Structures are given as structure tokens and as C-alpha cells.
Amino acid sequence: MNDRCAETLNMVGLPVEEYGDRFPSQLSGGQQQRVGVARALAAKPDLVLMDEPFGALDPITRAELQEEFKHIQSELNLTVIMVTHDMTEALLMAHRIAVMKDGEVLQIGSPQELINQPRHEYVKEIVEMPKRHADRLEKLIHSS
């Protein structure tokens, strides 16, 4: 195994000594996602494209990988374009967000701009969804 491969596996939390010789079928879903990130980073790209990268993971693994990826992105100064349907994920991970509907870009801005100054009713609705879910959970917790 070459040095860059070992470096990227270690970077995503898969020590090469333990995971370097494993087959995909021997890895959990989260570990497979980490390998995918390592493969993307191995070529030292300036730009990384990600399509729903955390969507198929359980909530705990998803949150862990999101935090790890934010750290890697910052450390390597990567530009990332990520497609997600999860507004909470977009708001927590992105510096800038483009909200699209039916193939049309409705608004581009920082998470704060989208939350505080939505320019379209759909943008307003979609950025309010995480808060609505939190409010519903809060009511559920206190309903007993």
C-alpha cells in the first residue's frame, strides 16, 4: 500500500494497520463511507463533489462523519460541493447554500442569510423545517 493511501485512510479514522487489507464486505456502512472519502481525497483534489454522502447512515455515524469531514475540509482547505435534501445537514455543514426547486436556483447565501432573509416562500419553509422538527420533539418530550 502506498504512502498516500495510508495517509488518507488514517485521515478518515481508519488506521491502515487495522483496515488496510480489508475487503468492502468486511466494513460497516460508516467505514465504507470513510473509504469513499479517503478515495476522493487520495488525488489531492482542489474540489470535491459529494452527492448525499451521509444519507444512508444511522444518525450517530452520520453526525460523527459530518464532524470529521468538516475537520478534514478545514484542514485541507477543500472546496466541496455537496448535494443534500437534508436542510439540517446543509445548514450545519455549509458556508454557502444554493436552494433549488424544480431545477431553478431560488436563493444562494450563507446559512444565516437563508434563515434571516429568505427571498422566496419555499426557502423560508425549507429553512424552518429543522426548527419545526425540534419544536415537535420538544412537545413530545414534555407531553407526558
What nine digits make up the cell of 104? 431553478
At residue 107, the 3 state secondary structure works out as strand
Convert the pLDDT of each residue in 25-66 to its tens digit: 999 888 898 898 888 888 899 999 999 988 878 888 889 889
The x, y and z cell numbers of residue 53, run together, are: 454522502
pLDDT at 53: 87
Grid coordinates representing 129? 423545517
What does the pLDDT read at residue 88?
Answer: 92
Mean pLDDT across 109-124: 97
Give yes or no for a contact between 52 and 74, defined as CB atoms under 8 angstroms apart.
no
